[in-house]
Chain A
Amino acid sequence: MRVASSQLYGATIRSMLEQQSQLAKTQEQLATGNRVSNPADDPIGAVRIQGLERSLERTAQYANNSVILDSRLRLEEETVGNSIEILQRVRDMAIQANNPVHTEESKGALLVQLKQEINSLLSYANTQDNDGRYIFSGYQNAAPFSYGEIGGAAGRGRGLGEGGMTEVAGAVKKKKQEGAGAGKGGEKR
């Protein structure tokens, strides 16, 4: 084939430019550490990358959610655990009091001790977290438990219940709800 002089240069320059543009592309990949810099480089890959990026972000958010849930549940666990200990001690005292050798004085001392235990139980039931929210008040934010009026006696079961009457369901459910919310994080992806 006849070759024009201009063609000789044209072909060389074209091939050089092509190599240069490929070199630029490779250098860009090297510099960014990304194979796909525009979605058009790999459309299917780019869509997948977007999905994965969202999953990554979401998982990080779920991890964050779990940390918050974890600290709340720890506080609740600790509080409930302490309350059980109090109930144990109260039970011990009841057994201890069921003894004819007790004098009025020693019974009085037991009563003082009992009152203290009940007071601590009430304060556990009205525990607040570091944001000042009552952890057993369900959706509401008011002290859920207080002494009732019945019989003037402190710490009776019914009295305790009255303050928290409408909240109990909420309190139980709140825990469940939070569990479900953060649990979702774990389940979904």
Chain B
Amino acid sequence: MADLLSNALSSLVSNQRALATTSHNIANAGTEGYSRQKVEFSAQNGVSIGGLTIGSGVKISDIRRMYDDFSTTQLRAATTASGQFESQYDLAIQLDNNLADSDLGLNAFLSQFYNSLQDVANEPSSLSARQLFLSEAQTLSNRFSDVSTQVDQIDAEIADRVESAVVEINNLSSQIADINKLLSESSRVSGGGNSDLLDQRDKAILQLSELVNVTTTEQDDGSINIFIGRGDALVLGGNANELAAVNSADNPTRRSVVLAGNTSFDLTDTLSGGQLGGALSFQREILDVARNELGRIAVSVASSINQQNNAGLDLYASRGQDIFALAEPRIADASSNSGTATLSAMISDVSSLNAEDIELRFDGGAWQAYSEQTGTQITGITGSGSAVDPFVINGVSVTVAGSPAAGDRFFIKPTADAASSFRVVMTDPARLAAAAATRSETSLANTGDATVSESQVVDPDNANLLDPVSINFINANTYQINGSGSFAYNSGDAIVINGNQITINGIPNAGDSFNIVANTGASGDNRNALAMAATEDSKVLVGGSQSINDAVSSLVGKVAVYTRSVDINFQAQQNLKALAEERQASVSGVNLDEEAANLVRYQQAYSAAAQAISTANDLFQTLMGAFR
């Protein structure tokens, strides 16, 4: 009798709790990170009476958190990867748009610039064509600085992203540490995990995974330790180690991530994955490269145009001057340097330049150069570092003054500032040297049928370039230069005198003469302007294998391929993430139909149990009635 009542009571209580759990599941059907809870019933041990064992009701042995460790780990990995590619794509697409827009891209401006040079060549004496050229040059320089400003803005955005990611990581890690504390306390008191706390912690870890790649280890007391980078502890039990974003040692516009307790140890390069790792790897892999490439293009435009302009004569019949100017390589000293050495650097050979930054290290006896991007040692360095014999590293001449100490490091960014500092220094359009420096002349008194070619300046640096030269033929096979010497003449041979080259063809008579003179008053000469326009296609980069146009195309292509590949990876990781989410939801997610069925089931059990109590009551009344 008593058994009937207590059995019914146990059923009432158990089903009530089951209903409560079901309603909890229903309530949290839409809660992110919620794991459904399942009530486990078990029969209470029976009581032996007279050799029979009679059941003594039901109890709830467990409210189980439906959870699959494997799919959770998988989801974390997919979230980290998708966060990384998402932030890489977000940043890369900005760069991609900036560099290659058909109206705003560098290509369109270079195109207009070189076209304006051809316009000058069409009318070398026209001041308006020359003025237009200077305007186009100015527009080009504005574009260079715009593009580099945009690159700088992306850099600034990355710095912001790093800062906010650090704040968020700190937030999440202190949350996790707090939950760890609660869990280890509750495990001491009740010995069981708290399903909802575990869900909250998993959610926080998932959010953390979206920001940066983390590894986790579970402790016996239920707490989880979290590590980032190469095993630096972020959360240990109930304690969180704060991260901090500080100004980078070798570049103050950048942020380095450090542990707040140990700011001297830079974690930045060890962080990978997630939005933070993605932004940092974008900065390393493509942004720096793009800035340096852009700089290299600016350097090659400036140097090829300047060089050619210096080879010609302007409308004042003076030698041409520089049209463009730009900044020298940027040098930074490591803050740990203890020596007194200072370095200076200049670009000495555009064709050997590449897009890599140089790190110079002094080991106490010798200097070594490393590429900052790849970390590999740069070989083939010439020179001793003195002013007369500077080191030449990848086309950059480096001079060392003062004495370095062992372990000193210097960072050289050869072209990082070139695009932003690219500017037009020529203001007078008449200074554009459209005319070649010299011209050849045939004496009118010549009687032979020999003809002379245009003079061609092959060495603009020759000090005697503009000196008049006369070539007099003693006979059909021998000539003198300026009345002296005796040189054998072969028709069609190149004759190089004072940096000028001419070719004489045909059979001269004795007494015939040809002259090379300074090309003064030659407002109609466009030879140097044509040569300048041709620099667009001359292979001046990468050891003479790449033209300026090729370099622009290769930069655009490089950024485009990168953007495309992170986009594809992002989509793939998103799909993987969706799969992992699905898999996790199939274990942990709430199905409302299932819960509705449970509601009915538990409610019916509850009603039946109530009926059993009523039956117990009836039995009792029957018994009482028997004695009335």
> How distant is B334 from chain A, measured CB to nearest CB, in Å?
37
Is B590 in contact with chain A by the CB < 8 A criterion? yes
Is A46 in contact with chain B by the CB < 8 A criterion? yes
Please state if B521 and A161 are interface contacts (CB–CB under 8 Å).
no
Q: A41 contacts which chain B residues (CB < 8 A)?
A: 564
A 25-63 to B, binary, CB cutoff 8 A, 1 in contact else 0 = 000000000000011110110110111011001100100
Question: Given the interface contacts A39-B560, A133-B524, A140-B523, does A2 sit within 8 Å of B591 by beta carbon?
Answer: yes
Please state if A170 and B100 are interface contacts (CB–CB under 8 Å).
no
> How distant is A92 from chain B, measured CB to nearest CB, in Å?
29
Please state if B567 and A46 are interface contacts (CB–CB under 8 Å).
no
Q: Which of B442, B444, B563 has the most CB of A within 10 A?
A: B444
Please state if A10 and B111 are interface contacts (CB–CB under 8 Å).
no
Question: Given the interface contacts A47-B560, A50-B552, A54-B107, does A7 sit within 8 Å of B586 by beta carbon?
Answer: yes
Is A68 in contact with chain B by the CB < 8 A criterion? yes
Give the nearest-CB partner of A161 in chain B.
B444
A 111-133 to B, binary, CB cutoff 8 A, 1 in contact else 0 = 00000000000000000000101
Please state if B556 and A39 are interface contacts (CB–CB under 8 Å).
yes
Is B123 in contact with chain A by the CB < 8 A criterion? yes
Is B522 in contact with chain A by the CB < 8 A criterion? yes
Contacting B100 at CB < 8 Å: which of A50, A137, A141, A178?
A: A50
Give the nearest-CB partner of B121 in chain A.
A181
> How distant is B399 from chain A, measured CB to nearest CB, in Å?
39
Please state if B581 and A10 are interface contacts (CB–CB under 8 Å).
yes
Please state if B111 and A58 are interface contacts (CB–CB under 8 Å).
yes
Is A74 in contact with chain B by the CB < 8 A criterion? no
Please state if B591 and A4 are interface contacts (CB–CB under 8 Å).
yes
B 567-609 to A, binary, CB cutoff 8 A, 1 in contact else 0 = 1000000000010011001111111110000000000000000
Q: A169 contacts which chain B residues (CB < 8 A)?
A: 439-442, 452
Which positions 83-132 of chain A face chain B at CB distance < 8 Å? 131
Q: B521 contacts which chain A residues (CB < 8 A)?
A: 139-142
Is B181 in contact with chain A by the CB < 8 A criterion? no
Is B86 in contact with chain A by the CB < 8 A criterion? no
Is B97 in contact with chain A by the CB < 8 A criterion? yes
Is B289 in contact with chain A by the CB < 8 A criterion? no
Please state if A46 and B586 are interface contacts (CB–CB under 8 Å).
no
Alpha-carbon separation in the docked complex, A68 to B126 (Å) = 13
Alpha-carbon separation in the docked complex, A11 to B575 (Å) = 11
B 96-124 to A, binary, CB cutoff 8 A, 1 in contact else 0 = 11011010010110111011001101110
Question: Given the interface contacts A53-B102, A141-B521, does A39 sit within 8 Å of B557 by beta carbon?
Answer: yes
Please state if A53 and B111 are interface contacts (CB–CB under 8 Å).
yes
Is A166 in contact with chain B by the CB < 8 A criterion? yes
Give the nearest-CB partner of A2 in chain B.
B586
Alpha-carbon separation in the docked complex, A173 to B30 (Å) = 86
Alpha-carbon separation in the docked complex, A181 to B123 (Å) = 12
Alpha-carbon separation in the docked complex, A49 to B564 (Å) = 17
> How distant is B442 from chain A, measured CB to nearest CB, in Å?
5
Q: B105 contacts which chain A residues (CB < 8 A)?
A: 50
Q: A2 contacts which chain B residues (CB < 8 A)?
A: 586-587, 589, 591
Is B519 in contact with chain A by the CB < 8 A criterion? yes
Is A165 in contact with chain B by the CB < 8 A criterion? yes
Please state if A46 and B585 are interface contacts (CB–CB under 8 Å).
no
Please state if B557 and A47 are interface contacts (CB–CB under 8 Å).
yes
Alpha-carbon separation in the docked complex, A142 to B454 (Å) = 21
Please state if A181 and B439 are interface contacts (CB–CB under 8 Å).
no
Is A177 in contact with chain B by the CB < 8 A criterion? yes
Q: A141 contacts which chain B residues (CB < 8 A)?
A: 125, 521, 523-524
Please state if B115 and A61 are interface contacts (CB–CB under 8 Å).
yes
Is A12 in contact with chain B by the CB < 8 A criterion? no
Contacting A4 at CB < 8 Å: which of B126, B442, B522, B589?
A: B589
Question: Given the interface contacts A2-B587, A5-B590, A174-B524, does A50 sit within 8 Å of B107 by beta carbon?
Answer: yes
Is B435 in contact with chain A by the CB < 8 A criterion? yes
> How distant is B49 from chain A, measured CB to nearest CB, in Å?
43
Q: A181 contacts which chain B residues (CB < 8 A)?
A: 121-122, 526, 530
Give the nearest-CB partner of B435 in chain A.
A139
Please state if B525 and A38 are interface contacts (CB–CB under 8 Å).
no
Q: B214 contacts which chain A residues (CB < 8 A)?
A: none
Please state if B587 and A5 are interface contacts (CB–CB under 8 Å).
no
> How distant is A122 from chain B, measured CB to nearest CB, in Å?
18
Alpha-carbon separation in the docked complex, A16 to B413 (Å) = 47
Contacting A5 at CB < 8 Å: which of B29, B93, B435, B525?
A: B29
Alpha-carbon separation in the docked complex, A141 to B560 (Å) = 51
B 74-99 to A, binary, CB cutoff 8 A, 1 in contact else 0 = 00000000000000000011001101
Alpha-carbon separation in the docked complex, A5 to B552 (Å) = 52
> How distant is B37 from chain A, measured CB to nearest CB, in Å?
14
Is B553 in contact with chain A by the CB < 8 A criterion? yes
Give the nearest-CB partner of A67 in chain B.
B122
Subset of 9 A-B contacts with CB under 8 Å: A1-B586, A40-B563, A51-B553, A139-B439, A141-B524, A142-B521, A168-B444, A169-B442, A177-B525
Please provide the 7 A-B residue pairs with the shortest distance between their CB atoms, ordered closest to farther. Answer: A4-B589, A39-B560, A139-B522, A40-B563, A43-B560, A139-B525, A4-B585
Mark A residues whose CB is within 8 Å of B.
1-7, 10-11, 14, 38-41, 43-44, 46-47, 49-51, 53-54, 57-58, 61, 64-65, 68, 131, 133, 137-142, 161, 165-166, 168-170, 173-174, 177-178, 181, 184
Known: A53-B107, A141-B524. 5 other contacts (CB 8 A): A3-B591, A7-B589, A40-B559, A140-B523, A170-B439
